[in-house]
Structure 1
Amino acid sequence: MSNEITIASPSWKRADRAVTHRYLPTVYVVAESQAEEYRARDLPVWVCPDSAQGSTSRVRNWILDNTPTKKLLMVDDDLRALGQWNGTSRRRMNSDEALEFVDHGFTLAEEMRVRMWGVNPAAADKQAYRESNPFSMGVFVGGPFTGFVDCPLRYDERIPLKEDYDMTLQVLNRYRRLLRFNMVHYFNDMHGMPGGCADIRNLEREKEQFDLLVKKWGSEIVRVDKGNSHNKRRVREASYDLNPKLRIPIGGV
């Protein structure tokens, strides 16, 4: 992999659960007060001020402000693998293949002059991937795996639980395109693990953040996803989908 690429993972109170470094050469961005706990486990750390942590949006902005390279890949600390569909068959990339893919992703992003790229957040489910549409340029890119190329935009610190949806909309609003590899997806443990966003997530906050996103971008663009979702929390007899559905008014794939 090119040494012109930084792979950084914001991590909060998860020294005993961070695993991404086993798969990609990742540095964990951790608060100064937690750094020794990570170092005690021989984890690669990039220390940020305590004031920069505690909010997903804030620490992501700190990474964007301080990255030593123009090419930055931000990943979750529980990324276990990248997967790829080939017809009806799915295979997991090994580390070398994943690094080659990261290089390829940044190269294509630069050639296409996009500021952000990523992979399909739902393609582990075959029904979420269509072979006729291996790439998209106007769709959601999730925070667990996001590449930036000299991007001046910053995450909205009012919306730390929906920050990746907002960043997707910011990029598309300003640049009119991004790049998503639809045939590639990630495997991680996004819910139910202590630390990270789990410390601040609850249904009330999720709804509040959803409403803020709608207020910022409008109900025609940010909508409730009424389809089947594995990302729901039970509320008495009903369920509430934690993630919005974006309807982006830009033509193309």
Structure 2
Amino acid sequence: MDWLQIVVLALVQGLTEFLPISSSAHLILVPVLTDWEDQGLAFDVALHLGSLAAVVIYFRQDLLNMTRSWFGSLQTRRLDADAKLAWAVILGTLPVGVFGLLLKDWIETDLRGPYVMAGTLIGFGLLLGFADWWNKGQRATTQMNWKDVAVIAFAQVLALIPGTSRSGITITAALLMGLSREAAARFSFLLSIPVIALAGLLEVYGLVRSPLAVDWSSLFWGALLSGISAYLCIHYFMVFIRRIGMQPFVVYRLVLGLLLLWFFW
């Protein structure tokens, strides 16, 4: 892999993993717009590890508080705000984990077409726009109930369909349930940690079984650039949505969906 390919793929992964614009739709466009060969499973693993490191570092204090309270809740059987949030993340991950394992082969073979991605980009983009326009909620993550968690958790299952965007659909569901924009984004990012970790473990399993040689230098720089860009993306996204909201991302999704239709028609 040359430097340009490493930089472009790392930035695409880092910037689109957490924005509500679908990383899979962007990654399918890269080989269309370039003549690059497939980057390989090892590089995909490195990019995911970079994104995972970014979100863990960004929310490190929240995660530390949640972990302490969660273990404390096992002993005392009492839930404070951090313990509730930790349980919400754990329980909110179960549906996508179960459905992901059950439907993995079907999704990878039948749902990775550009028309599916274009449809989900446009359809769920419009739903995100409606949720953001309709939302008047100011509830924080500490005010979520188990109904909120269940709705967001099963909405996340839809992200298994390429083009949906995991962050996009979870933020949409959270907004519809009355959470504020900041709370919706924060819970979505916390939910991403076990999801990215599980996806990374599956890729590592495939990598271990692969006999191909590994270019460690490319992996290192890809992970580093992906992590830096993802961290900056999370930080500025949280600032951005307070002032402007989700509508620019809705417009972007519509344009990207139409581009996919145009490229593959």
Q: TM-score range by the shorter chain?
A: under 0.3
Task: Compute the TM-score of the two structures, normalised by the length of structure 2.
Answer: 0.24
Which structure has greater strand proportion?
A: 1
- Based on CA coordinates, which of the two structures has the bigger radius of gyration? 2
Which structure has greater helix proportion?
A: 2
If asked which structure has higher relative contact order (CA below 8 Å, sep 6+), I would say 2
Task: Compute the TM-score of the two structures, normalised by the length of structure 1.
Answer: 0.25
